[in-house]
A and B are shown apart, each in its own frame.
Chain A
């Protein structure tokens, strides 16, 4: 680590964190740190414990065991000061349905104790940043799913937070809406904000995150940059062959994954696989991506409730 101590202090430090809800052991000893100015993704299947970890970081749930610090202190010791420095984008839509788009931001700004003059200047800027200026006087119910997400993100930015915590920011949105949100999150990163996001979209994680922490069953399976994880857990290439497999194809010795209607083979060179195939056999070759890492680490069977 170079630089002075203050810039080297993690924004979030989590050490052997555990959470039990009665008989449910939702988080079973999770350790990680998040450094200023980075974007870190918590990746995991539904029910992996991602939201529970976020709730503990936001002091909305108390850890059963382990240590958790935010800006160098326990969230509960920081109390109000902590919430002034963090913007939360929750998974579910909890915009205020009784208020207009603009009022949602103004009223939220007052919850942060911000003076009216500051909000009068800041609200139009946030509406423009999230491309909502034209819908400023619309009621929340009249907004599309993508606009609602943008408004929730704008709302999280009302007090100019240092850390932005996003719980599945683009789930359920169409591709255009997702791309717009990704652009804005990259803008925020450029401004020096620290971002912590959960997602189960691999493309989103690969695009936005400097580091990824893969979680399942309340435990960290691995963490690193997207490329580190790919290098560590898969080969460079994936060859996908539809079932039924061609007659005479010998797959012994190949790393593989059964995804139902097709088989995935992992190899350093595509020819490691393709030279075993009979002539004219059809296959698809691509570079390995995070999805492959995720499938290998968490298994590919769907969870209850998916």
Chain B
């Protein structure tokens, strides 16, 4: 371990890393907004007309009201996971941006906090694009509920970013990321309740689904956005799960990166 581990992270240095990523992103903002808005539009069009026509009501909701909160969470999950895995690996390994930063007063923990918070920011941004589409297209039942749901989505994005960093910390090549997407991102897309109710699956799939942070996120966000009743105790449990997993994942990724970089 180096000097790194002892220093208490200072926000100014993490923000410098966050601002670096924001500066690069701003130069490509146009295409990014376009894809982030078009993506949910295509989904809503296809699933709305396809599935929505077949299904009358899902979980006590019309299909649009069911699927828009799910897609809010899915957008946050996908964007944060992608940024914390593939994009961070490019900066860590390919571009050697991390080496350059670690020769400055920025510590590894601050660097990782900057990367994690940026990945989470992108997740929240993607989610906001879905909200914008939902506000026009329909599917958002409760604006107050939406306002409460947003910070929960942000916590979810932090959780997806932190778990993504765990994979990046172990990556020796790009190959590991196909496992990450196949065994982590895609299951969260399929089994966590984005498009179908978790309760429809056999018990062992449900048991697996409740390990995934996405399932907990949707369990809180959907009732809030749709204006359905939400058991406060269950909500606290879901939020606590997301928070605990975020902390554990970040700590684990920090330890692994530390060993790799300064071993």
Chain A positions near chain B (C-beta within 8 angstroms)? 58-62, 75-80, 82-84, 88, 90, 92-99, 103, 107-108, 110-113, 155
> A155: which B residues are within 8 A, CB to CB?
100
Known: A84-B105, A96-B95, A111-B16. Contact between A78 and B100, CB under 8 A? Answer: no
Instruction: Count contacts on B: residues with CB < 8 A to the other chain.
Output: 29
> A93: which B residues are within 8 A, CB to CB?
96
Known: A94-B95, A98-B24, A110-B19. Contact between A82 and B3, CB under 8 A? Answer: yes
Whether A60 lies near B102 (C-beta < 8 A) is: yes
Whether B262 lies near A113 (C-beta < 8 A) is: no
Question: Which of B5-13, B161-169, B189-197, B221-229 lies on the face that meets chain A?
Answer: B5-13
- 25 CB contacts below 8 A, A to B, read A60-B2, A60-B103, A60-B261, A60-B262, A62-B2, A77-B3, A79-B4, A79-B6, A79-B7, A80-B7, A80-B107, A82-B3, A83-B105, A94-B97, A94-B99, A94-B100, A96-B20, A96-B97, A96-B100, A98-B24, A99-B24, A107-B19, A107-B20, A107-B23, A111-B16
Whether B95 lies near A97 (C-beta < 8 A) is: yes
Could you tell me the distance between the alpha carbons of A77 and B4 in the complex, rounded to whole angstroms?
10
Whether B95 lies near A59 (C-beta < 8 A) is: no
Could you tell me the distance between the alpha carbons of A83 and B2 in the complex, rounded to whole angstroms?
13
Chain B positions near chain A (C-beta within 8 angstroms)? 1-4, 6-7, 12-13, 16-17, 19-20, 23-24, 27, 95-97, 99-107, 261-262
Interchain pairs with CB closer than 8 A, number: 80
Could you tell me the distance between the alpha carbons of A61 and B103 in the complex, rounded to whole angstroms?
12
Whether B3 lies near A103 (C-beta < 8 A) is: no
> B16: which A residues are within 8 A, CB to CB?
107, 110-111, 113
Known: A62-B2, A75-B3, A99-B24. Contact between A108 and B95, CB under 8 A? Answer: no
Whether A103 lies near B23 (C-beta < 8 A) is: yes
Nearest chain B CB to A26 CB, angstrom units = 13
> A94: which B residues are within 8 A, CB to CB?
95-97, 99-100
Best-surrounded residue of A107, A108, A155 (most CB of chain B within 10 A):
A107
Whether B2 lies near A76 (C-beta < 8 A) is: yes
Known: A80-B3, A92-B96. Contact between A111 and B261, CB under 8 A? Answer: no
Nearest chain B CB to A68 CB, angstrom units = 12
> B103: which A residues are within 8 A, CB to CB?
58, 60, 83, 88, 90
Whether B100 lies near A95 (C-beta < 8 A) is: yes
Known: A77-B3, A83-B103, A110-B19. Contact between A61 and B95, CB under 8 A? Answer: no
Known: A96-B95, A103-B23. Contact between A113 and B13, CB under 8 A? Answer: yes
Best-surrounded residue of B2, B4, B7 (most CB of chain A within 10 A):
B2
Q: Given contacts A60-B2, A80-B105, list 8 more A-B pairs with CB under 8 A.
A: A60-B102, A79-B6, A79-B7, A92-B96, A94-B100, A111-B101, A113-B13, A113-B105
